[in-house]
Amino acid sequence: MNTPSSPSAPAPEHRLPPGFALHASGADGSQEYFLNMGPQHPSTHGVLKLVVRLDGETVVEVVPHLGFIHRAIEKMGESETYVQYLHLTDRMDYLSSHINNLGVCMAIEKAMGIGVPERGEYIRVMVSELQRIQSHLLWWGAFGMDLGAVTAFLYGFKEREKITALFEDLCGARLTMNYFRPGGSNADVPENFIPRVLEIVEEMKFTLDEFNALLSANPITISRTQGVGALSRERAISYGCSGPVARASGVNFDVRRHAPYSIYDRFEFDVPLGQNGDCYDRYRVRMEEMRQSVRILEQAAASFPEGPHRAKEKPVYKLPAGSYFSSVETARGMFGTYIVSDGGLKPYRIKSRSPNLSNLAPIAEMAAGGKIADLVAILSTLDIIVPDIDR
């Protein structure tokens, strides 16, 4: 949204836009002004609005405004059954829809004491990891584009499309999957699932090397990201950051490792950690995570068992009164599902803990003092999905 108004000295203190710290400005003759980035802006990844206080090109302060895609999912959840709520989680973080589904299913399973057969658990892990790779591929492309390398965007999508095709064979959808159910998944995998996964795995190894050659070692990429938007370990924890954003700051926290769900405790994988918490570390952590996901996929494909893919289906899911919490590691961090049940067919209150909300929170700290271009790089490496923030 481009509001036509000429740059001028900042408004007096009492007329600062909401959210800005009320420290004196303009008194020293600085030419500060406010710039609206979004909700319609190419680099805000959706409809996020940032009001930026600028001194020339330098960012003084950033105030994010949320809610432009607030879709009342939690309110709707109160009038839908538990299984119906699954389709709403697809649409929150649509790049991790499988994993979001899994989170809700796990909360229901926990409440009702439902187990998952061996094959079902393997499907869950493999599909989750494929989803993680798919999401990171899209992120890589979007990262390239935000930095101005548009070609990277197309390459990311090209590789992603292979996994999307596999998901389509798996559940019929390309994006909003709705595949997992309490007790397993709603359908068994197609016959050639394992060969296709292995094919993707082999291609991924090559692709990742190629991607590294194109962008990772590029001096421009490094100069745009190294030392930019640093977030210390303490601040990352205090803000409740999770996923690659927290791990890049050195927080050794991965739900798959720290509260292993499904059968993640059976597989060997490393949790890549960064030291500086800058954009470059976040970039490297995600690149390494894709390799780790490939490792998990290889191990799972090697021991993929026969058997039923799901446990007996309940006609209705009626959770005993009480509150239940489950957490999973999506491509962006810790996705929590908190269900409060009064014993009825529908949740009394259902809350989804979105990793993106907490990951975006430190943006004001990270961007202050940088340039506008840094703000774009930071937003890109935070890898936010705005509908997941707004829910």
Partner 1 sequence: MIDKSAEFSLPPGLVPPQSGLLQPVDWIVGWARANSLWPLVFGTSCCAIEMMATGASDNDWARFGLEVARASPRQADLIILAGTITEKMGSRLVTLHEQMPGPKYVIAMGACTISGGPFYYDNYSVVKGADRLIPVDVYIPGCPPRPEALLYGVMQLQKLIRAGGWRNSIVHRPVNVSPITDPMAETLKEWEVIEAKKQEEMKEAKERFKLENPDYKGVVIKRIVAPKYDEVAPTPRPERGLAQAEIFANLSERFPSLRVHALPEKSAEKVADNVAEVATETSVEKPIETVTEKITAMGREYVLDVAVEPADYLPLIRHLRDDTDLQLDYLIELTAIDWKDRYDVVVHLLSTDKGHKVFVRCALPHVEAPEIESLSSLFAGANWHEREAYDFFGIRFTGHPDLRRLFLEDDFPGHPLRKDFEYPERVVKRPY
Partner 2 sequence: MIDLTVTHPIGDRIREVLPPLPAALANGALAVASLALLVTVMAILLVWLERKVCARFQARLGPTRVGPFGLLQPIADALKLLMKENLRPTATDMVAYYLAPLLPITGSFLVLTVIPFDHNLQVANPGAGVVFVIAASGLGILGTLIGGWGSNNKYALLGSMRSGAQLFSYELSMVLCMLLVVMAAGSASLREIVLSQQGTVLDWWIFKLPGAGFAAFLLFLISSTAELNRGPLDLSEAEQELTGGFHTEYAGMSFSMFFLAEFVNMFAAAALGSTFFLGGFLAPQIGVHAVDAVLSFVPGVIWFGLKSGFLIFLYMWFRWTFPRLRIDHLLALEWKFLLPVSMGNLLLGATLVTFGLLLP
**Tokens standing for residue 171:** 């559940």
Considering the complex, state which of residue 88 and residue 130 has its C-beta at the smaller distance from partner 1.
88
Considering the complex, state which of residue 230 and residue 251 has its C-beta at the smaller distance from partner 1.
251
> Least distance in Å: CB of 5 to partner 2?
7
Considering the complex, state which of residue 29 and residue 113 has its C-beta at the smaller distance from partner 1.
113
Query: Which one of partner 1, partner 2, none is in contact with 203 (Cβ closer than 5 to 8 A by kind)?
Result: none
For residue 390, the tally of other CB atoms under 10 A from its CB is 21
Considering the complex, state which of residue 51 and residue 95 has its C-beta at the smaller distance from partner 2.
51
**CA nearest 274: which of 294, 246, 302, 305?**
246
Number of residues counted as binding partner 1 (CB under 8 A)? 85
Binding mask 126-145 for partner 1 (x = CB under 8 A): ------------x-------
Residue 94 found at the interface with partner 1 (CB under 8 A): yes
Chain centroid to CA 97: 10
Residue 344 found at the interface with partner 1 (CB under 8 A): no
Residues whose CB is less than 8 angstroms from the CB of residue 128 and which lie 6 or more positions away in sequence, other chains included: 98, 99, 102, 262, 328
List residues binding partner 2 (CB under 8 A): 2-7, 33, 35, 41-43, 57, 144-152, 154-155, 158, 214-215, 218, 220-221, 223-224, 371-374, 376
CA distance 265 to 267: 6
Query: Which one of partner 2, partner 1, none is in contact with 68 (Cβ closer than 5 to 8 A by kind)?
Result: partner 1
CA distance 212 to 309: 37
Q: Within 13 Å of residue 51, how many CA atoms lie on the same side as its CB?
A: 13
Considering the complex, state which of residue 28 and residue 263 has its C-beta at the smaller distance from partner 1.
263
Query: Which one of partner 2, partner 1, none is in contact with 126 (Cβ closer than 5 to 8 A by kind)?
Result: none
Ramachandran assignment for 350, one of left (phi > 0), alpha (psi -120 to 50 degrees), beta (any other) = beta
CA distance 24 to 21: 9
DSSP state of 13: G
Query: Which one of partner 1, partner 2, none is in contact with 335 (Cβ closer than 5 to 8 A by kind)?
Result: none
Considering the complex, state which of residue 280 and residue 324 has its C-beta at the smaller distance from partner 1.
324
Query: Which one of partner 1, partner 2, none is in contact with 9 (Cβ closer than 5 to 8 A by kind)?
Result: none
Query: Which one of partner 1, partner 2, none is in contact with 31 (Cβ closer than 5 to 8 A by kind)?
Result: none
Residues 197-226 binding partner 1 (CB under 8 A) are none
- Classify each residue of 160-178 as buried b or exposed e, where b means 16 or more C-beta atoms within 10 Å of its C-beta: bebbbebbeebbeeeeebb
Interacting span for partner 1 (CB under 8 A) from 72-80, 198-206, 217-225, 296-304: 72-80
For residue 259, the tally of other CB atoms under 10 A from its CB is 14
Residues 355-374 binding partner 1 (CB under 8 A) are 357-358, 361-362
> Least distance in Å: CB of 324 to partner 1?
10
Residue 116 found at the interface with partner 1 (CB under 8 A): yes
Considering the complex, state which of residue 81 and residue 218 has its C-beta at the smaller distance from partner 2.
218
Q: How far is CA 287 from CA 140, 246, 342, 371, in A?
A: 8, 15, 43, 25
Residues 277-336 binding partner 1 (CB under 8 A) are 308, 310-313, 320, 322-323, 325, 327, 334, 336
H or E segment and range at residue 54: strand 49-55
CA distance 126 to 170: 12
Mapped onto helix, strand or coil, the DSSP state of residue 35 is strand
Binding mask 241-280 for partner 1 (x = CB under 8 A): x---------xxx----xxxx-------------------
CA distance 350 to 341: 8
Query: Which one of partner 1, partner 2, none is in contact with 253 (Cβ closer than 5 to 8 A by kind)?
Result: partner 1
